[in-house]
Amino acid sequence: MTREYLLVDGYNIIFAWPELRELSKDNLESARIRLADILCNYQAFRKNEIILVFDGHKSKGNLGSVIHYNNIDIVYTKEAQSADQFIEAVSWQMAKDYQIRVATSDNLEQTVILAQGAARMSARELKSEIEIAEKDIKETYEKKKDKTRNSLMDNLPPEMAKLLEQMRLDDT
């Protein structure tokens, strides 16, 4: 099976999702961290590779950076390189060997990456996919929680469990 990469245009998603847009009004860094945390949970469920990309092109002297954050990579582009340019370059390079999806609602960006062989998803589609994954995670957790519930009797040696069961029956 071909490895899947999801490239996420960070600011595009932040400003497309109402709760992140609202958070960014007070503190843009908090919105970036919240998005990264959401994507970390999603990655753990999907088992794909996620690269979250933020523009750094307006920062004078910015050399760009890549940060491994939990189970995803976060890229801050270098001076004079937009997130769109980075995503286009990576999509073009990797589309031959990997399945590439790009999450952005930028129509021009979607057209470019489709031409390069990558799949696109809008900010709304990404949000919907994440909500489905979160629901599945909760359901899986609840099922496992019920199955792993241990009682005292489950953890006793068989002869001790038999003795306690006999004592319980004798008391009635």
Interacting residues of 78 by C-beta distance below 8 A, sequence separation 6+: 56, 57, 62, 63, 64
Q: Tell me which amino acid residue 141 is.
A: Y
- What's the rounded mean pLDDT across residues 160-172? 79
How far apart CA 11 and CA 56 sit, in angstroms, is: 11
DSSP conformation letters of 87-151: HHHHHHHHTTTSEEEEE---HHHHHHHHHTT-EEE-HHHHHHHHHHHHHHHHHHHHHHHHHT---
How far apart CA 27 and CA 22 sit, in angstroms, is: 9
Which range of 32-36, 59-63, 85-89, 162-166 scores highest in mean pLDDT? It is 32-36
Confidence bin at 150 (pLDDT 50/70/90): low
> Would you list the domain boundaries of the chain?
4-146
What pLDDT score does 127 carry? 97
Angle ∠(106,29,22) on CA atoms, nearest 5: 65
Sheet of 4-9, strands arranged across? 65-69, 72-76, 49-54, 4-9, 99-103, 119-121
Q: Render pLDDT for 27-52 as a digit per residue (tens, 0 to 9).
A: 999 999 999 999 999 999 889 999 99
* 172 pLDDT above the threshold of 60: no
Nearest to 99 by CA among 85, 117, 86, 83: 117
Q: Render pLDDT for 86-108 as a digit per residue (tens, 0 to 9).
A: 999 999 899 889 999 999 988 77
CATH number of 4-146: 3.40.50
Element (DSSP H or E) covering residue 156: none
